[in-house]
Structure 1
Amino acid sequence: MKLKYTLFPSFQVSLFMVLTITFSGFAQNKKQADLVSAYKEYTELPREVGYAHLNKTTYLKGEIMGFTVYVFDKTNKKPSETTTNVYCTISDENNRVVKSEMILAANGIANGSFQIDNYFTSGEYTFKAYTNWMRNFDEQNYYTQTVKIIDLENEDIQKTKISTSKLDAQFLPEGGHFVADVKNSVGVIVKDSLGFGVPNVTGKVLDSKNNTLIDFKTNNLGIGKFTYLPKTRELYKVVLNIDGTEQIFPLEKAENQGIALTLNDLENRVALSLRTNENTLKQLKNKDYTLAIHNGNVLRTVNVNFGKSLEVTKMINYKDLTTGINIFTLFDENSKPILERMFFKYEGIKLLIAQNPQTVDLKDSLTIKIPINNINSTSVNNFSVSVLPGETKSYNPTNNIISETYLQPYIKSYIENAAYYFTDITRSKKFELDNVLLTQGWSSYDWNTVFNHPPKELYEFENGISFRANVNNKTTLEYMMYASINNEMQVFDFDEGDKDFGAVGLYPMDTENIRFSAVKKNNNLERPNLYFQFSPSGIPDLKTIGIQAPLYDETVSKTYIGQKISKSSWENAEQLEEVVIQTNKTLTREDKLSVVPFGKVKVIDDNVRKSNIFLKDYIRQQGFKVFEYMGQLMIFSPRPFTLGQGKTITTAGTLSGTYNTTITTPGVVVYFNDMRLANIDHLSHYTMDDVDYILFDKSGASEAGAGAPGVIKIYTDPTLSQSKMQRNVTQEVSVPLAFSTPKKFYTPGYTSYQSQFYQDYGVIGWFPRLTIQADGNIHFKIPHQLIDHLSVFIEGIANDGSFISERKEINLK
């Protein structure tokens, strides 16, 4: 089946609303109007965000990296309906691209694979997935994931990264500033030397006299929070205790003037408190500040005036916030941003729930069915599934499909294990994520860039491949481009004086070339001599490393060194020995295709192609009447037409009161790859090169009650090799950058399926494009591996905006 795409796609631009809401009831001032105007210009170009589900994150040399890429409209979080060109790369630690490919997306979904072959050595690599359009923006809307590759045959496998006892501790004031004589809320991040959060660290805040002001503790990801009231000219420090060892960190000195910010989630509304001290209040007299609330799409503003008060609190209802990230920024009277805080609203995220898997044990395989509730099968849905041994150590992605879509593109740094906050969501996890956002500081929307450097459309939105062909022969009237796997045949009219022609929206695969013929005035074909320029012609460079989270990966045991995969993933595609089966009659392909209720099927082979260069000649040979007149092609059935067929025309006779009645002979109905043709003139010079088989129905019975005077159904196969005809009438063009054909995923063979090595790093199956079946389940089949425990990792979308990210355990005992 051919992929159907619009030839001239239009970007589905979401409405970028810029609203101004004054909760305090004051009118919008000029400063706010300027802010709104700058923000509107900055957000005018629509954004996409990408996510890639990799089958795992630690690979053994000899395996295949499988991945499914999802591309979303950043505003409405729905799959992009027009994106087709998705680029995927793997880079080494020096940011040198080792492998790359362009994959074809439909409805925002694409899949591909990389072989982990001899181009790789043991070490860490970075996988990226992006579109050309994403390169226009400072926010990191593309996807990146650190992966580890292990060469078990190399004894210098990888220098083990050892975490030292020294901690990296950060104490970040909420909003961005420590302010003296004001209660400050402070976020805590404690990481080890490898960049991972240190769990359950106890800490205390001490003044200069070593008096303890407050105690706190980090969570399992090294995140904590405390509040204290620093005094002017006083110095403070934090003492952290880990495994009985104390480490001391000085706190930044509080500023004498400034504003401190505290946000509290009250479940149905948000309380945003702004506090200042007496020194600052004198400077704030009669000055209007602006609180902006935005999410990269919608902007709202609130007037802020301290008057004579040291504290101003704004209560904002949930209904006035957007689902996902909300960014609060306080601007001074000169429209300078001075404080920022992010808040995440969970309400509105649509989550799908997978039920307990069902298994059906077959002789040599296991069929697994997983029910997923509330699926609308008529809308786009796709589920990518990785099946690994139950205790695997090789699957540790930084994000899942929800966190990468709703959270990561809005922050400047990485959040360790961001998927944690969107798996089995609880009130406690919401609180923990809010603490994380407290520590993030400024968002990925830089206000200097918003005001002074709005993005420009430097990199175009791509939909397929385009070309321009320069013409040398001025006598040719038309050029014909033959059908390919994803594109129908096209004819290009060429007026005198034209120097070139072109097309957009082509989707060539890496297994094919594009073929052209020149059409002369007498409708004969000849080989053209065209010079082509294609766009894109190469993988575009992101020119940025991007936000890269460290990969959590346990040390590979030295006992694994020297172990081997018995057979690499790509070696599983074996060529079987020829097997001769004797039977009374062997059904040919023509016999099988001929099992149709009406008509007869003719399979076209090279002998037929050599004897009949043009399709019209072969149709004539089958007994049909074929005529050409003034550029028109007409095909009629050899059988007399029956009652009801044809069009009756009545004209006045030569004698008064007489009439002449004639019935026009109707042409046969012609289908091309199951698409009925309203006009068949372009078939006049269509060759037999890629014609696979044709159904001839001279009676027209296959059209049921339509009364068709004959039916011809033509089926092509663009992958057929060009016939060795006596004269070559086509020019084959190799496309410099074609779409990679999705390859079948093969699991490698292992020397043992019972070893701890296999339990830790083995692969069972990868299914990149599963859809919901009529019974409400996703189905897949895996071979028996003689293990008792499986882990199934599911990521996907459905219902035009619903997400799923789950891990399911299957016990086979």
Structure 2
Amino acid sequence: MAYQNFTLLKKYFYLLLFFVLTHLSVFAQHDSIPLNTIIERAAKVNNEHPVEKVYLHLDKPYYAVGDTILFKAYLTMDFHSPSEISKVLNVELVNSRDSVVEELKLPVANGTAFGNIILSGVNYKQGNYRLRAYTQWMLNFNTSYMFDKVITVGSALNKDVNADVSFSGNLSDKNSKLGARVLYRGTDGAILPNKKVDWRIEKNGDIIVKGRGTTDAKGYLNLAIITNKREDISGGLLITSIETEKTKTAGSVFPLKNAFNASDVQFFPEGGSLLADMQSQIAFKAIQGNGLGIDVKGTVVDGQGKEIVNFSSQHLGMGKFSFTPQNNTAYTAKVEFADGSKGTYNLPRVSAEGISLAVNNANPHTLILQIASSQAFFQKNKNKVFYIVAKNGGFVTFAAQSALTEQTTTAAIPKSKFKSGVLEVTLLSSSGEPLSERLVFINRDDNLNIALTPDKPSYLTRQKVTLNVGAKLADKPAEGSFSVAVVDETKVPFSEDAATTILSNMLLTSDVSGYVEQPNYYFIKPDIKKVDDLDVLMMSQGFRQFDFTDILSGKIKPVRFGAEQGIVLSGTLRKFNGMPVFKGAVRLIIPDKNYSAETTTNADGEFAFQNVVFADSSQVTISARNNLDSKNMKITMNTGFYPTIGKSENYADEIINIDSTLNTYVKNSGKQYQFNQVLKEVVIKASTVKKVTHQDYSGLSGLSAFADHEVNPEQLTGCNNFLMCLTTALVGITYRDNNFYITRDYNQGNKNPVQFYVKGMPVDVSYLNSINPKEVDGIEIFNSDGFSGINKMNNTNGVVSINMKEAPKGQKISADELKKLFPDQNVINFTPKGYAKVRQFYLPKYDVSQQQKASDLRTTIYWNPNVFTDKAGNAVLNFYNADGRGTYKAIIEGFDKDGNIGRTVVRYTVK
């Protein structure tokens, strides 16, 4: 096993209820697999691939430049129990250029961790960011169980103009005209008429199209986007600059990745297929170009244009309808969207024969299963054995078998057999082939009941508040770990339906693939309609877990990444001739902790220091000087593995018009941080400075004069970790297993990595960790090494030249400075990623009888990530209100030691 340093006891509770769907008459088949074997193989996969989930409770749904993001992480396994697998959590904040702006490493204790990210005006600008959290163990599952949330950040710093945009046109339709309409207002809300505006569309630093215009009498700029590079617009940025009285130009930036997409509709037959002459239920989902649901109505017609059935959406563009399809008939849906546009879509093909599983989830206590087969399928498979297997939380929690003796059979299953969450019900043949599948959401009301009670019905500003916490599971007290956030809801308005919560994340979105709009809607006072809406969602989403085809065929990928039990600093000690040093002495020194340790290398020259504890930014020295002939030895450190930053499933949560959407919050932020203004960037135009290229280094003179791809320094804006940024910035390069490869060659089987050069000197991947992105003048990518012979000499494929900004010429340097340019290779001084420092949340204390001069404009009134209930399930919290009047919202979330989760929201009034 890859996670050696702990014992993981897993609770498998297989409810092997071999119930009789019909009069059971089982016939042995030579290719059949016993049901017990299927269950055992599923258990083996679970045992070798236990699933971790992570959820971050944030103090607010959005922020402004100058704020601090406060969060508590809940790391769970199995049915949401505090994880025993990983002890280290990685948290990243990623900007719109897919560069990691902030990276934290946090220690995990009892399944929890907490931290903060300061949104300083130096590193952050207004825009949409992605907050990701994951353990190294999760990388065995691609990115399925990472926490990934859109965080919108507004800004009032040095701001003169607010701008909102709307788009028109369809990028995929060549006949569709692309356009944008931008409304400009001053920060006081006044429109800005008759102002000159320069605009351009950029992608990866290249200008796709540009133009100039003037706002009309109502402050609108109407621009037509005409270009031969339409395909390059998606993923680009619309950048505008408008002249104002206060400043010569004021800029606004709008992302275009969702701007010009057409609306779409998808259809999902229950069980996976449409069977001829069998009544079928079909779910559908209509989405706008921005990924959000859109109301729709339509008609299904057959090949002759005859209307078969009408349908309309019931919630966020989703709905369902039933009809009986005929064999050899193609069906089409004629659709009209809420915005007036129309479309025609083909329904899935009708199958002449087959078997399908349907589930009725309307009864609060019982699941009704129906298995229906076509006449032809029934005649071919009469009396054959079929299996029904249900997985809940990754575990097989229900299994049954029956002989097929009738075309349609039904059975009832008590929901008490399952835990709340997503249930995957699969119909399999006796050979283990999945035939039909259905996702169902089980809601048994088995979560923690958390009472959060203010000591008064209303308060004054700056008055002391006492919140009493009481946690119960059913009628028994619950000891648990919780986090509490109190915000001024008047300044931080937000729809509870759209909130990301511990319930919506752990029970729903972490177990289904695809975007779920307004996930908390289904958990706020569930009623008959919400249950039905959630059932339609289940019919249109995919399951994240392993499917039975992979389980039974043994195609589950082996574990590649071990579970981190602490920070590990590892590397290799070799002689200059490449031979590993066996039993070589390696020493670790952390000066600011007054800490040192020693180890020896194995036969491959490898060494590792386990569970090293040090703070982020600590200087670390790794030395091999205490060896004979140490001057002929070289240390190479292993770098961390960074997961690919792919497209977020939650892109629809990005806010395009931040100025108007966050207007209330940003106005308060402007008052709160009015004395924390950041100096505006001043562009100094001077004589042209020669750009550094690979041709400035003699060792790279054999490369082509022109690179195949280039990365401009502007594309690294906001990048803090250079190596991590390269995983997405390098064009035509694939990052795999801590190495970089030419994508086209890698896909054809060439697994030789590229060779990196920095200032014309060859370096390994680990060296890239030490580069300051702000000192990079550009990156050149070469798919071949030309006449240089670099790849033959190093057994590599392709060259990447990282060109640094030139140092001032004619300046004398000291001997120590010269030595730093050519350090001994048997010693490495570097700053590895250590545990992040956690900032204490400031809690003011007020005496209401005294006058306080300074305004208290806080939006987060109280934050406490360490709330623990005692054996009686109780805890008491105290804090003071700010100056804001209106409604304050208090949220508590958390879990107990057995994995029972809960969330409660209460409001109180401040007068």
How far is 1:134 from its partner?
Answer: 0.8
Structure 1: how far apart are the matches of 2:897 and 2:472? 9
What is aligned with 1:587?
none
Is the Cα–Cα contact under 8 Å of residues 92 and 125 in structure 1 kept in the other structure? yes
The number of residue pairs the alignment matches comes to 625
Does residue 1:172 correspond to 2:168, yes or no?
no
Amino acid at match of 2:112: I
For residues 715-794 of structure 1, the aligned pairs below 5 Å read: 736-745=832-841, 763-765=859-861, 767-772=863-868, 776-794=874-892
Distance 1:135 1:264 in 2: 36
Asked if 1:76 corresponds to 2:79, the answer is: yes
2:150 is aligned with 1:146: yes
Matched with 1:133 is 137
Q: Distance in 1 between matches of 2:94 and 2:143?
A: 21
Alpha carbons 1:169, 1:189 under 8 Å: kept? yes
Counterpart of 1:791 in structure 2: which amino acid? K
- 2:522 aligned with 1:417: no
1:661-716 residue CA offsets vs partner (Å, 9 max, x unmatched): xxxxxxxxxxxxxxxxxxxxxxxxxxxxxxxxxxxxxxxxxxxxxxxxxxxxxxxx
Q: 1:510-550 deviations in whole A, cap 9, x for unaligned?
A: 376689999x9xxxxxxxx9x99999854633565453352
Which of 320, 325, 329 pairs up with 2:422?
A: 325
Aligned-pair CA distance for 1:149 = 2.5
Question: Alpha carbons of 1:535 and 1:170: their partners in 2 closer, same or farther (altered >3 Å)?
Answer: same
The partner residue of 1:106 within 109, 123, 131 is 109
Post-superposition Cα deviations, 1:564-603, rounded to whole Å, max 9, x if no partner, equal 724559969xxxxxxxxxxxxxxxxxxxxxxxxxxxxxxx
CA separation of 1:452 and 1:192: change in aligned 2, threshold 3 A: same
Q: Is the 8 A contact 2:261 2:290 kept in 1?
A: no
Q: Which position in structure 2 is the counterpart of 1:10?
A: 6
Within 1, Cα distance between the matches of 2:634 and 2:524? Answer: 50
> Which protein shows a greater Rg?
1
Q: Would the aligned equivalents of 1:481 and 1:489 in 2 still touch at CA under 8 Å?
A: yes
Is the contact between residue 386 and residue 767 of structure 1 (CA under 8 Å) also seen in structure 2? yes
Q: 1:792 to 1:390 in 2, by over 3 A?
A: farther
1:275 to 358, 361, 372: 372
Q: Give the alignment's Cα RMSD to 1 decimal.
A: 4.8
| Aligned 8 A contact 1:468 1:502 in 2 | yes
Compared CA separation, residues 183 and 570, structure 1 to 2 (3 A) = farther
- Residues 535, 65 of structure 1: CA spacing in aligned structure 2 closer, same or farther, 3 A cutoff? farther
Distance 2:904 2:511 in 1: 23
Aligned to 2:355: 259
- Residue 409 of structure 1: how far off its partner (Å): 2.9
Distance 1:363 1:412 in 2: 45
Give the AA of the match of 2:448: L
Pair 26,792 (structure 1): closer, same or farther in 2 beyond 3 Å? farther
What is the SS of the residue equivalent to 2:117? strand
Aligned twin of 1:614: none
Does the 8 Å contact 2:567/2:611 carry over to 1? yes
CA distance, structure 1, for counterparts of residue 499 and residue 461 of structure 2: 38
* Secondary structure, counterpart of 2:472 in structure 1: coil
CA distance in structure 1 between the partners assigned to 2:571 and 2:513 by the alignment: 44
Q: Given the superposition, is the C-alpha separation of residues 801 and 41 from structure 1 closer, same or farther in structure 2, using an over 3 Å criterion?
A: closer
Q: Give the aligned partner of residue 610 of structure 2.
A: 504
Contact kept? 1:232, 1:256, Cα under 8 Å = yes
- The offset of 1:348, in angstroms, is 6.1
Partner SS for 2:653: coil
Instruction: Work out whether residues 397 and 417 of structure 2, in 8 Å CA contact, stay in contact via their aligned partners in 1.
Output: no
2:118 matched residue in structure 1: 115
Q: Is the 8 A contact 1:324 1:346 kept in 2?
A: yes
Deviation at 1:184, TM superposition (A): 0.2
In structure 1, the residue matched to 2:410 is 313
Amino acid paired to 1:387: V
Structure-to-structure mapping, 1:387-536, within 5 angstroms: 387-390=487-490, 392-393=492-493, 399-450=500-551, 451-467=553-569, 504-510=610-616
User: Is the Cα contact below 8 Å between 1:58 and 1:395 reproduced in 2?
Assistant: no
| Structure 1 residue runs without a partner (length 5+) | 1-7, 521-528, 573-730, 749-757
Partner of 1:630: none
Question: Hey, what does 2:401 align to over in structure 1?
Answer: 303
C-alpha separation in 2, matches of 1:106 and 1:56: 24
Matching residue of 2:896: 798
Work out which of the residue numbers 641, 652, 655 in structure 2 matches 1:550: 652
In the TM superposition, what is the alpha-carbon distance from 1:449 to its structure 2 partner? 3.3
The Cα shift of 1:357 comes to 2.7
Distance 1:17 1:369, change over 3 A: closer
Native 8 Å contact 1:385 1:766 kept in 2? yes
Select the residue among 217, 221, 240 that pairs with 2:316: 221
Whole-angstrom distance in 1 between the partners of 2:910 and 2:380 = 71
In the superposition, the TM-score normalised over structure 1's length comes to 0.65
Map of 1:633 onto structure 2: none
Residue type of the partner of 1:372? G
**Alpha-carbon contact 1:388-1:792 (below 8 Å) kept:** no
Match among 45, 51, 57 for residue 55 of structure 2: 51
Supply the distance in 2 between the matched residues of 1:747 and 1:121 (Cα, whole angstroms). Answer: 27
Distance in 2 (CA, whole Å) between partners of 1:570 and 1:22 is 71
- Judged with a 3 Å threshold, the aligned counterparts in structure 2 of structure 1 residues 365 and 544 are, in CA distance, closer, same or farther, namely same
Q: Distance in 1 between matches of 2:504 and 2:838?
A: 27
Once residues 773 and 33 of structure 1 are traced to their aligned partners in structure 2, the CA distance between those partners, rounded to angstroms, is 42
8 Å contact 2:90–2:104 — kept in the other structure? Answer: yes
Contact 2:60 2:487 in 1 (8 A): no
Decide whether the 8 Å contact of 2:357 with 2:372 is kept in 1.
yes
C-alpha distance after superposition, 1:32-60 (max 9, x if no partner) = 45533442332222221101122334332
Q: Does the CA-based 8 Å contact 1:415-1:549 persist in structure 2?
A: no
Aligned to 2:433: 336
Q: CA deviation at 1:350?
A: 1.8
Q: For residues 82 and 205 of structure 1, do their structure 2 counterparts lie closer, same or farther at Cα, with a shift above 3 Å needed?
A: closer
Shift of 1:477: 13
Measured in 1, the distance between the counterparts of 2:64 and 2:461 equals 29
Q: Identity of paired residues, percent?
A: 18
Q: In structure 1, how many angstroms separate the alpha carbons of the residues matched to 2:315 and 2:675?
A: 40
**SS, match of residue 531 in structure 2:** helix
Distance 1:188 1:50, change over 3 A: same
Q: Structure 2 CA distance, aligned partners of 1:254 and 1:229?
A: 10
Indicate conservation of the 8 Å contact 1:61/1:149, yes or no. Answer: yes
- Matching residue of 1:247: 342
1:339/1:377 Cα in 2 relative to 1: closer, same or farther (>3 Å)?
closer
Displacement, 1:341?
0.5
Runs of 5+ consecutive residues of structure 2 not aligned to the other structure: 162-249, 575-583, 678-826, 845-854
